């Protein structure tokens, strides 16, 4: 019979990792397409869309730890995590569909802004009901140091795999150019059909992971924790968690790293379509490369999980990710990258896509696992466990990457002077050059800032093993 100090069994990994399907479709849908949809299709200025999503993020900053607190203190026959996951299924699916289908009665930019803002807030809050309790399971399901990286990493890799498959489907099914619409990314009906399919898959994924993980309910117990439901109880537990230096460090570092990834996702369509001037078939090929990268990263997680100290590995991979991510744009700027339209360019971008996604998935897996490890420090310091509040950092970080990346990207596009209706008359070489060069500079600064914050994280494997031994 397996114990919580053993590596998590395969069945547990599969059912837990299935939750990443919902995350991948939702986060990639918002990251890759929401800005361009509301900007170029619906007609809202990019900075207005970015502002709406930034405001929604501020609401998330509150909802994540609140849901974590509530799930930490819930007592029911269905456990303390699963009730929230069940409740999330229908609202998340409906709101994901709804955000791509603004009512036709909304005609002014003001009305569309409020629709986008309110719908995004509700969608992210509903997703929080699933994602926070789901992430809180990692330190409860296993106390194995590398096992936590396997569980957390599997969800991260599945998130990327599902997200990339959905993005590929967008380009080969729903956003295909036609004679009357040379830019398929302007096809509103395609976004709406994809929204419906995505909503159905999200609902199924949440239901599968919620039902599938119920069999390990007995592992989700409490240590010296009396359930409370009050504002004072929330603030006392929240403050106790964020007094932990390791949590503050991983929170800041992960949030900055996720914003960097979010910027890349939000601008990806702009960069591939207008900077690299790729057609839909070429874009689909690069997306296949991203999918291959996610698959390779997921298949090699076991090696990453066992590769020494998580902090040093995360720092190294973050630095490598930064260098790899900006290399094509830096090389283009100094004249050492193939010209647009050449076959060599496509294959170099293909290889780049594989490497970049592998590094992002590996790094994100380690950062997520490191957050789960902070739970052990919390138990030692505070005398009780509050996985929900501590691991709410993970959900906040994911949304920060999406919303913060979108908000920054909206301002970024305005800064470089990118036109709201790009055509041959206003999409000049100067604009496209500024798009690529400034994107590279911004990404490099963001990833380096993430590494600096991570240096303040203090919890290695020896300390972790000691904390687990004391807990047992």
Can you tell me the distance from the alpha carbon of 275 to that of 270, in angstroms, rounded to the nearest whole number? 7
Structural tokens at position 56: 């929604």
The answer as to whether 226 is a domain residue is no
Can you tell me the distance from the alpha carbon of 68 to that of 397, in angstroms, rounded to the nearest whole number? 14
Can you tell me the distance from the alpha carbon of 153 to that of 298, in angstroms, rounded to the nearest whole number? 7
Range of 444's domain? 10-216+237-471
pLDDT in tens, 48-63: 988 888 888 778 778 8
The per-residue pLDDT for 1 is: 41
Residues 6 or more apart from 445 whose CB is under 8 A from it? Answer: none
What number of other Cβ atoms are within 10 A of residue 57's Cβ?
Answer: 21
Can you tell me the distance from the alpha carbon of 59 to that of 44, in angstroms, rounded to the nearest whole number? 22
- Contact between 322 and 386 (Cβ < 8 Å): no
Structural tokens at position 182: 């040379």
The per-residue pLDDT for 418 is: 83
Give the helix ranges, DSSP H, for 18-144.
19-28, 35-36, 46-72, 82-99, 109-141
The answer as to whether 4 is a domain residue is no
Task: Report the mean per-residue pLDDT for the chain.
Answer: 88
The answer as to whether 412 is a domain residue is yes
The answer as to whether 227 is a domain residue is no
Measure the N-to-C terminal CA separation of the chain; round to a whole number of Å: 17
pLDDT in tens, 259-311: 887 788 778 888 998 899 998 789 889 989 999 999 999 999 888 888 778 99
The answer as to whether 332 is a domain residue is yes
Q: Looking at 42-46, 178-182, 306-310, 368-372, which range is the least confident one?
A: 178-182
Q: How confident is the model over 354-381, as a mean pLDDT?
A: 90
Structural tokens at position 422: 């790009």
pLDDT at position 17 over 90: yes
pLDDT at position 393 over 90: no
pLDDT in tens, 162-175: 998 998 899 889 98
The answer as to whether 2 is a domain residue is no
For residue 147, with 0-12 CB atoms within 10 Å meaning exposed, 13-18 middle and 19 or more buried, which class applies? Answer: buried
Structural tokens at position 282: 């070429």
Residues 6 or more apart from 421 whose CB is under 8 A from it? Answer: 40
- Contact between 168 and 282 (Cβ < 8 Å): no
pLDDT in tens, 122-158: 999 999 999 999 999 998 888 888 989 999 999 999 9
CA-based Rg of the chain, rounded to a whole angstrom? Answer: 22
Can you tell me the distance from the alpha carbon of 56 to that of 282, in angstroms, rounded to the nearest whole number? 34
With left for phi above 0 and alpha for psi between -120 and 50, is residue 7 left, alpha or beta?
Answer: beta
| DSSP letter (8 states) at residue 182 | S
Give the largest CA-CA distance in the chain.
Answer: 69
- What is the CA 372 to chain-centroid distance, rounded? 16
The per-residue pLDDT for 258 is: 80
pLDDT in tens, 411-469: 888 888 887 766 666 778 888 889 999 999 999 999 899 999 999 998 888 888 888 88
Task: State whether residue 91 is helix, strand or coil.
Answer: helix
Structural tokens at position 211: 């039902």
Helix (H) or strand (E) holding 289: helix 280-299
pLDDT at position 241 over 80: yes
For residue 186, with 0-12 CB atoms within 10 Å meaning exposed, 13-18 middle and 19 or more buried, which class applies? Answer: middle
Residues 6 or more apart from 148 whose CB is under 8 A from it? Answer: 138, 139, 142, 369, 372, 373
The answer as to whether 221 is a domain residue is no
Structural domain tally of the chain? 1
What pLDDT band is residue 223 in, cutting at 50, 70 and 90?
low
% of the chain beyond a pLDDT of 90: 46
The per-residue pLDDT for 220 is: 67
Distances (CA, A) of 353 to 78, 285, 349, 436, 437: 42, 10, 6, 16, 18
Q: Return the residue matching tokens 């990453």.
A: 304
- Contact between 359 and 317 (Cβ < 8 Å): yes
- Contact between 247 and 384 (Cβ < 8 Å): no
The answer as to whether 274 is a domain residue is yes
% of the chain beyond a pLDDT of 70: 94
pLDDT at position 179 over 90: no
Can you tell me the distance from the alpha carbon of 412 to that of 370, in angstroms, rounded to the nearest whole number? 31
459: domain CATH number is: 1.20.1250.20
pLDDT in tens, 183-216: 788 899 999 999 999 999 999 999 999 999 998 8
Distances (CA, A) of 17 to 10, 38, 224, 277: 10, 31, 29, 36
């Amino acid at each position: 019979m397996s114990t919580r100090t053993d590596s998590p069994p395969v069945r547990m990994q599969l059912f837990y990792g299935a939750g990443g399907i919902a995350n991948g479709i939702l986060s990639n849908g918002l990251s890759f397409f929401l800005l361009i949809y509301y900007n170029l299709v619906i007609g809202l200025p990019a900075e207005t869309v970015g502002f709406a999503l930034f405001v929604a993020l501020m609401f998330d900053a509150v909802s994540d730890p609140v849901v974590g607190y509530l799930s930490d203190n819930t007592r029911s026959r269905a456990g303390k995590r699963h009730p929230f996951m069940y409740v999330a299924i229908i609202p998340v699916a409906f709101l994901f569909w709804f955000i791509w289908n603004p009512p036709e009665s909304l005609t002014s930019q003001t009305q569309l802004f409020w629709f986008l803002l309110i719908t995004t807030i509700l969608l992210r809050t509903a997703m929080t009901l699933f994602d926070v309790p789901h992430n809180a399971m990692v330190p409860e399901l296993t106390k194995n140091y590398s096992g936590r990286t396997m569980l957390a990493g599997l969800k991260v890799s599945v998130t990327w795999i599902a997200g990339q498959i959905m993005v590929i489907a967008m380009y080969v099914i729903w956003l295909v150019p036609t004679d009357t619409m040379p830019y398929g990314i302007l096809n509103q009906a395609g976004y709406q059909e994809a929204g419906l399919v995505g909503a159905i898959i999200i609902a199924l994924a949440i239901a599968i992971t919620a039902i599938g993980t119920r069999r390990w309910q007995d592992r989700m117990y409490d240590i010296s924790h009396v359930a409370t439901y009050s504002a004072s109880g929330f603030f006392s537990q929240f403050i106790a968690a964020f007094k932990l230096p390791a949590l503050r460090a991983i929170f800041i570092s992960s949030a900055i790293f996720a914003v960097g990834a979010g910027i890349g996702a939000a601008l990806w369509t702009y960069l591939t379509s207008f900077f690299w001037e790729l057609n839909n078939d070429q874009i689909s090929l690069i997306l296949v490369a991203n999918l291959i990268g996610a698959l390779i990263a997921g298949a090699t997680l076991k090696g990453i999980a066992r590769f020494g100290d998580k902090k040093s590995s995360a720092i190294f991979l973050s630095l490598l990710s930064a260098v790899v991510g900006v290399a094509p744009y830096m090389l283009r700027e100094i004249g050492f990258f193939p010209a647009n339209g050449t076959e060599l360019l496509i294959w170099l971008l293909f290889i780049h896509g594989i490497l970049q996604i592998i590094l992002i998935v590996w790094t994100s897996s380690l950062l997520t696992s490191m957050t789960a490890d902070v739970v052990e420090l919390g138990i030692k310091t505070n005398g009780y466990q509050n996985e929900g509040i501590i691991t709410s950092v993970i959900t906040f970080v994911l949304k920060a990457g999406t919303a913060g990346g979108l908000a920054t990207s909206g301002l970024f596009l305005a800064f470089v002077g990118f036109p709201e209706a790009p055509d041959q008359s206003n999409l000049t070489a100067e604009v496209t050059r500024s798009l690529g060069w400034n994107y590279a500079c911004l990404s490099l600064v963001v990833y380096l800032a993430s590494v600096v914050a991570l240096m303040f994280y203090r919890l290695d494997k020896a300390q972790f093993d000691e904390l687990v031994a004391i807990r047992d």
